[in-house]
Amino acid sequence: MAHLSLKSLTKVYPGNVTAVEAADLDVADGEFVVLVGPSGCGKSTMLRMIAGLERITSGTLKIDDKVVNDVEPGHRNIAMVFQNYALYPHMSVRRNMAYGLKNEGKPKAEIEARINEAAQMLRLTEYLDRKPRQLSGGQRQRVAMGRAIVRQPAVFLFDEPLSNLDAKLRTELRAELKALHDRLRGTFVYVTHDQVEAMSLADRIVVMNAGRIEQIGAPIALYSRPETRFVAEFIGSPAMNFVEGVLGEGGAVLVSEGREVLQFDRPIGLAGSGFVVGLRPEHMKPSKGGFARLRFRRVFDEQLGADTLIHGTLDSGPTRVILRVDGALHLPDAERLEVGVAREHLHLFDPKTGLRIDT
Amino acid sequence: MVENRPLANILTHAVLILGVFFLCFPVWMALVASTHGPEAMARAPIPLWFGDQGLANYREILSGGVAHAGGVPVGKMMLNSLLMALGITFGKIAVSLLAAFAIVYFRFPFRMGFFWMIFVTLMLPVEVRILPTYDVMVKLGMLNTWSGLIVPLIASATATFLFRQFFLTIPDELVEAARIDRAGPMRFFWDILLPLSRTNIAAIFIILFIYGWNQYLWPLIITNDEDLYTVVMGISRMVNAGESRPVWHLIMATSVLAMLPPVLVVLAMQRLFVKGLVETEK
Ligand SMILES: Nc1ncnc2c1ncn2[C@@H]1O[C@H](COP(=O)(O)OP(=O)(O)OP(=O)(O)O)[C@@H](O)[C@H]1O
Ligand SMILES: [Mg+2]
């Protein structure tokens, strides 16, 4: 197994499209790192540079302290799983898995042994002689994983491997992937645009935005201390609510367009012109108490069983707000609600730079 | 569309049956004529049903050849045609597969320029470039040789173009997976591209084989050695055999024989072709 190091890695496509800009990242041996971000932010490009499928414009890429910028993909000691499986359609499952090993010149007996082991691990033994087209989507993706596993690569790369599967299968395979990682202790780099997948799989998440790395951290760290407004909005579902305004007199009230939008128990001890206050739906309690309070105008409820999402706006203006409350909670049928949030659940951001402001 | 309009139905069937008749009648006539004696074809009501000379006619052309046409045995000419057609077919498939492979999978200078050059030659049939090609053959001393017969016909813009279009439909991820699996370009070609092209190769094989088998003008120009005569040339020589009357019964028997190999190829390849279609994978 191996560690991976990216130093100011940059990719500029023809036509001057900068897909990845000066990315720095270190992935430790055996770590599960997930690259996440909205569509077009450069996740796939970054992964493909690691794989060697895309030329690196500038910067250095090291696998186990060896610079591999100009090494062919087959010689980088990596394996990749693609979104659309990319299995060789004319080869049986067994031959699909064997192909890479055969090209490496491994002896037949060893190839056979590795395939059997991987097939057992992935519950594919009975499908070994089938062609890919005779398998379901989930099975195909497991074959693709098997093809990666038998190579025993230093780094496993995944580009949205679960995106073509239905929701139930996705959850199943997610658990399987996690178990696989625990078992193989391999170095995994995994791309997804699904933040739930990222949260549940990753040791560390890399959030990307428009070609740049916004923040790197453990899932819980990103959730509880997002460094930028972008990360705050991207991580967590439903997304964080944002209330924008300037501090009013006394510093204990947030004002927007002349109307009070948020009241604090005491001054939050910050000078400055404007703020964006981030409030997670699950941290907003429909009660009179709480460090920060706002008045909420309820538009409709969405009952999900365990939780209920209450959609609405600020009473003072059009800013949309979502509350997430316990499904068993019975709220008065009122249109207006008082909502409170605890001190430690407030996130403050600079409205211009989007950076977190510590209080 | 399910329509029930009897008049239209009758009309379309009539047109189709007429078409079938026009297509099949000459073949029928060739078959019938090849079973009659030498006089039957020269008399006024041409027979429309089989005669009793079939066995004798075929035995004659297969053993001795037609004396009026240089006496080259038909069997020998058939073999020549077969060698030429197979040479052209395999050569064309090999060259055009490789050319399409290069154009689709490699980035080299003037790649698109080359592609368009090949594409433009699609519009130039053999006949147009026959004189310059002949000149080249003369200078290379390739008159009356197998390679002279085959090599100039091997380049195929059509097949290159068709293979290119097919390669473009193969997903990029497959190429990338192969690169990660440490398959070099030629290994990718052999292990993945070629097996996936099977159906296409079978289809193109049929077309090219018939094209090669039916070549007339080029063999006529490049050879005057009887050892290289092809059956199409042979038939034509029999028809134009100087003063004597054409021996239609033998000419037709030769024609029937000349039709067989293309039919056999179609039948043989069709099986693979249909199998390939049913097995469509991806
Ligand atoms: N071959 C290419 N040529 C030019 N631009 C490209 C090329 N491939 C990708 N891009 C651009 O680079 C940017 C990043 O693309 P990339 O595929 O890495 O996004 P992504 O984060 O993987 O998105 P998604 O979640 O939709 O897969 C995009 O703006 C895209 O348009
Ligand atoms: Mg992508």
Give CA–CA dist A202/A32, Å, rounded: 5
A79 and B180 in contact by Cβ < 8 A?
yes
SS3 content of chain A, % helix, strand, coil (to 5): 30, 35, 35
Task: Let me know: does A10 contact A59? Beta carbons within 8 Å.
Answer: yes
Residue B60 covered by a domain: yes
Give CA–CA dist B6/B12, Å, rounded: 10
Give CA–CA dist A345/A293, Å, rounded: 12
Q: Is the pLDDT of residue A128 over 90?
A: yes
Give CA–CA dist A122/A176, Å, rounded: 8
- The shortest C-alpha distance from B172 to chain A (Å) reads 9
Residue B96 covered by a domain: yes
B183 contacts on A by Cβ (under 8 Å): 74, 99, 103
Please write the tens of the pLDDT for every residue from B215-273: 888 888 888 877 788 888 888 877 776 666 777 777 888 888 888 888 888 888 887 77
- The shortest C-alpha distance from A70 to chain B (Å) reads 14
Average predicted confidence (pLDDT) for chain B: 83
Task: Single out the residue of A172, A282, A274 nearest to residue A235, CA to CA.
Answer: A282
Q: Is the pLDDT of residue B173 over 90?
A: yes
- Residues 6 or more apart whose Cβ sits within 8 Å of residue B34: B54, B57, B58, B249, B252, B253, B255, B256
The pair of three-digit structure tokens given for residue A200, joined into one six-digit string: 């549940």
Q: What is the mean pLDDT of residues A334-357?
A: 91
Residue B107 covered by a domain: yes
pLDDT (0 to 100) of residue B281: 46
B195 contacts on A by Cβ (under 8 Å): 90
A86 and B174 in contact by Cβ < 8 A?
yes
The pair of three-digit structure tokens given for residue A197, joined into one six-digit string: 């997948």
**What number of other Cβ atoms are within 10 A of residue B1's Cβ?**
2
* ipTM of the prediction greater than 0.90, yes or no: no
- Residues 6 or more apart whose Cβ sits within 8 Å of residue A147: A79, A81, A87, A96, A97, A99, A100, B177, B181
Give CA–CA dist A106/A114, Å, rounded: 11
The helix or strand, by DSSP H or E, that contains position A347, with its residue range, turns out to be strand A347-349
pLDDT (0 to 100) of residue B66: 60
**Whether residue A48 has its Cβ less than 6 Å from ligand 1:** no
Residue B38 covered by a domain: yes
Q: What is the mean pLDDT of residues B195-204?
A: 89
Q: Tell me the best of A9, A10, A11, A17 to mutate to test the pocket of ligand 1, counting ligand atoms within 8 Å of each CB and taking the most.
A: A17
B181 contacts on A by Cβ (under 8 Å): 74, 99-100, 103, 147, 151
B181 and A103 in contact by Cβ < 8 A?
yes
| Of A287 and A20, more confident | A20
Residue B196 covered by a domain: yes
The pair of three-digit structure tokens given for residue B210, joined into one six-digit string: 């018939």
A84 contacts on B by Cβ (under 8 Å): 171, 173
Which ligand ends up closest to the CA of A55?
1
Considering A204-218, B205-219, B263-277, the range whose residues carry the highest mean pLDDT is A204-218
List A247's β-bridge partners, or say none.
A254
| Of A113 and A334, more confident | A113
Domain residue limits at B76: 34-278
Please write the tens of the pLDDT for every residue from B134-152: 898 889 988 888 888 888 8
List A255's β-bridge partners, or say none.
A246, A260
Please tell me the total count of domains within chain B: 1
Task: Single out the residue of B114, B18, B85, B22 nearest to residue B258, CA to CA.
Answer: B85
Q: Of A244-253, A347-356, B199-208, B233-242, give the lowest mean pLDDT range.
A: B233-242
Residue B24 covered by a domain: no
Residue B220 covered by a domain: yes
- Residues 6 or more apart whose Cβ sits within 8 Å of residue A323: A281, A284, A286, A296, A309, A310, A312, A337, A339
Nearest to B281 among A79, A82, A133 (CB): A133
pLDDT (0 to 100) of residue A222: 94
pLDDT (0 to 100) of residue A339: 92
- Amino acid symbol at B152: P
Phi, psi of A16 (to 5 degrees): 65, 35
**Whether residue A55 has its Cβ less than 6 Å from ligand 1:** no
- Amino acid symbol at B20: V
Q: Is the pLDDT of residue A272 over 80?
A: no
Strand-pair category, A307-314 with A259-264: unpaired
- Residues 6 or more apart whose Cβ sits within 8 Å of residue B42: B245, B248
What is the total residue count of chain A? 359
Share of chain A above pLDDT 90, in %: 74
pLDDT (0 to 100) of residue B248: 79
Query: Ligand 2 centre and the CA of B10: distance in Å?
Result: 57
pLDDT (0 to 100) of residue B244: 67
Give CA–CA dist B108/B96, Å, rounded: 17
pLDDT (0 to 100) of residue B149: 86
List A260's β-bridge partners, or say none.
A255
pTM: 0.85
pLDDT band (50, 70, 90) for residue B26: confident
Give CA–CA dist A48/A42, Å, rounded: 10
**Whether residue A88 has its Cβ less than 6 Å from ligand 1:** no
Burial letters A238-267, b for 16+ CB under 10 A, else e: eebbbbbbebbeeebbbbbeeeebbbbeee
pLDDT band (50, 70, 90) for residue B282: very low
Task: Let me know: does A340 contact A293? Beta carbons within 8 Å.
Answer: yes
Q: Whose CA is nearest to atom 5 of ligand 1?
A: A13
Which stretches of A151-194 are DSSP H helices? 167-184
The pair of three-digit structure tokens given for residue A80, joined into one six-digit string: 């990749």
Here the CATH number for the domain that contains residue B80 is: 1.10.3720.10
Give CA–CA dist A166/A176, Å, rounded: 15
